[in-house]
Copies of this chain bind each other. A is one copy, B any other.
Amino acid sequence: MRIGKVIGTVVATRKDPRLTGNKLMLIQPLDVNQKPIGDVIIGVDTVGAGVDETIIFTKGTAARLGANKPEAPIDVAIVGIVDSIDLV
């Protein structure tokens, strides 16, 4: 998993029907100091994440499991909302 921030959404009316019902969130990966790092990706929300929230996202088969859609063409999902990042 990685830490990220929801920075917006993508609208797509023509899409795989199995993506219907999932908001497509733009996720900016963050480092532990919550600074942007790496490329923005698109993930489905599974925990009611809102724009500007710091979240946990997962990739690959884990994303379909998070979305409870094992047959959907999903490879990134938001699976948690961060309360705090506790460094040593």
Contacts and interface: CB of A to CB of B under 8 A. Distances in A.
Contact of A26 (B29, B79, B85): B85
A83 to B, nearest CB: 4
Q: What's the number of copies of this chain in the assembled complex?
A: 5
B12 A83 contact: yes
A17 to B, nearest CB: 10
A32 to B, nearest CB: 5
B80 A16 contact: yes
Contacts of A29: 39
Nearest to A44: B1
A74 B51 contact: no
Contacts of A74: 1, 58, 62
Contacts of A42: 1-3, 56
